[in-house]
Chains A and B, each alone.
Chain A
Amino acid sequence: MTGPSTYKPTTNFTRWLDSRLPILRFANDTMTTFPTPRNLNIWYTFGAILTFFLAVQIVTGIVLAMHYVPNSDLAFDSVEDIMRDVNYGWLLRYMHANGASFFFIAVYFHIFRGLYYGSYKAPREILWILGVIIFVLMIATAFLGYVLPWGQMSFWAATVITNLFSSLDQVIPHLGTTIVTWLWGGFGVSNATLNRFFSLHYLLPFVILGVVALHIWALHVPGNNNPLGIEVKEPQDTVPFHPYYTVKDAFYLSLFIIVFAIIVFYAPDVLGNPDNYQQANPLVTPPDIVPDWYLMPFYAMLRSVPQKLVGVLVLFGAIATLLFVPWLDTSRVRSGNFRPLFRPFFFLFLIDCLLLGYCGSQSVDAAWNLGVFSIPLIWVARLGTIYYYAYFWLVLPIVGLVETPLPIPDSIARSVLGPRAAGVAPAE
């Protein structure tokens, strides 16, 4: 898709610059004239939304770091000072804390869109893998950031998550404990832990930024996938990125920001946990230690396994599985629209992830009461975990082999424009 460059410098200065550092040519070819399939739908706008939210998180985070004190005696109060005494500090912090949630909302839409339209299939395997790496970095960054306010949930989430590594004691005695002590910088979650978590929380977003650059680079080599899942074949199939997709992305981004603003201004604490407004206290364990909502599905998987090491492996395996998706799906057809057998499994998988998230948000002994029966949620989570794995390791390979796909259109342009296609000139 990256054809010959169409950039033509028009002034003496741009000609001079172009022969030394063709940065304007690069910007023009990647952001302006970049040929983009003309049939991208609303689900393809989340890439732009994610880029915007990465910028929001970095900018608000840098300003918050000017006021935040990464010291276990002062951190909690410094966050309250930001909320009360720093000009618009409440706005910065509420944007940053809720921005993380909206970042994850957007990334989940983005991932499920990729799973449905087969965006991970050749030639986009590396694009997909870079996306999985970004997702892992996002989880790490979000977890580190959750610890910084040094509330009760911060402290105890840090304790629980770092302790996952102590399960390695079951492989080599003392190995896990040694790693956990090394992670903590002491014999418990302490000031040393908070300091290094702050340092890493500041570092990782810039690593994400770098991988995002690779992700976009890898996108621009084969070009966008599209809802039909067929390759671009002729100029008519595409429109230039600008203005067609800049305006479309901007419109949907604006709608997304409206929802974000409703939360930031009118319900800023609704996604948080009240316990985190209590200062960390190593002597008082909260009744339920829970991560933020976006990690609930993985938390449910972890808790559903009685054996700790296996639980940890199930948790990490669930994310690592995503790396293999390009090779697990045996179907040559990309888009779920043309895969009648795949579709119900996909939507069941979507429901499964939501259900796992629900299970993770409930207390560990919660149950559904159905009259005489009560179904413990831990069993719901176990079935949910089994389906999560089965979807990738059984459904995707087998369905691709036995399924008869629907007839696939041969042209993006004809499928979008119908009979007009022949007469329409390629958009300038």
Chain B
Amino acid sequence: MRKTLLVLGLSLAATVTFAQPSTDALPPKHVSFSFEGPFGTYDRGALQRGFQVYKEVCSACHSLNHIAFHNLSEDGGPGFTDEQAKAIAASYRVAAGPNDQGETVDSSGRPLTRPGTIADHFPPPFANEQAARTANGGALPPDLSLVVKARAGGPQYVYSIVTGFHQKPPSWFKVLPNKYYNPYFAGWNISMPPPLADGSVKFSDGTPDNLDQEAHDVVTFLTWASDPRMEERKRLGLGVMAFLIVFSGLLFLSYRRIWRDAH
């Protein structure tokens, strides 16, 4: 028995690990959003400003495949009017071919396009994965319509990535060529250049256009893009909870009454 314990102890001791510099992602920053908690809703202003940030900055490289223009004017969304959503859609060109003559390209060989309608989804910035990688030094910019749900840490993680640049790496850490230092990203080398800085966009509603505000707003927009039914879900949840609590109360009273003499 003693010998077994000794062997066990030695094998445990043999696995003592020594501290070495780790390039695991830092825990995401603590930042709070209007949509948190059981009653949280999306801040309409933040959604509209965040859409502006996506449109003017992110959309150069990142698609938003699961979002259609009509989503912009739906309940629980950014709260654009139907006319605004139509105007936004019309400002995009979407793939149109083949036309009535069966042509898929115009006279100069470019794919046919037409102005978007509210039924269309946001057109992706690149035709395919290879085109996206070629334009981005081999890296593939992920689609953003599910990015908040698809990352552990959710909104806090995306916020930390967007604001995690502009820092001096520790002396022992090597930033690889064509990469950027971002300690909130696993491995600390990220292919995305710093996307936002103070003044990257001009907000028309007078909101200060500093980095934190831009990041906060675009993360709000992307959270909505990941979960556009959140407000409907929480609203229905409130009714369901109220019903279940009252129903359970009635069942409890029935239970007590029926069992009154049985135990």
Contact = CB atoms under 8 A, between A and B. Distances in A.
A367 B15 contact: yes
Contacts of A248: 255, 259
B143 to A, nearest CB: 9
A376 interface: yes
Given A248-B255, A373-B16, A266 B237 contact: yes
A255 B226 CA distance: 31
Contacts of A369: 17
A258 to B, nearest CB: 5
A265 B248 contact: no
A416 B12 CA distance: 52
Contact of B149 (A247, A261, A277, A417): A277
A90 B226 CA distance: 12
A269 B149 CA distance: 8
A427 B259 CA distance: 10
A166 to B, nearest CB: 30
B105 interface: no
Interface string B244-263: 11011001101100110111
B5 interface: no
Contacts, number: 96
A251 B12 contact: no
B233 A274 contact: no
B146 interface: yes
Contact of B152 (A90, A247, A266, A274): A274
B188 to A, nearest CB: 15
Contacts of A243: 258
Interface string B57-101: 000000000100001000000000000000000000000000000
Contact of A261 (B13, B150, B241, B252): B241
B237 A265 contact: yes
For chain B, which range describes its interface: under 10, 10 to 19, 20 to 34, or 35 or more residues? 35 or more
A265 B149 contact: no
A376 B15 contact: yes
Contacts of B71: 84
Nearest to A76: B146
Interface string A270-284: 000011011000000
29 contacts: A39-B263, A80-B66, A80-B146, A84-B66, A84-B228, A84-B229, A91-B236, A244-B262, A247-B255, A248-B259, A250-B255, A251-B251, A254-B247, A258-B245, A261-B240, A265-B236, A265-B241, A266-B234, A268-B233, A274-B149, A274-B152, A277-B146, A277-B150, A278-B142, A278-B146, A367-B17, A374-B16, A376-B15, A427-B261
Interface of A: 38-39, 77, 80, 83-84, 90-91, 94, 239, 243-244, 247-248, 250-251, 254-255, 257-258, 261-262, 264-266, 268-269, 274-275, 277-278, 367, 369, 372-376, 379, 416-417, 424, 427
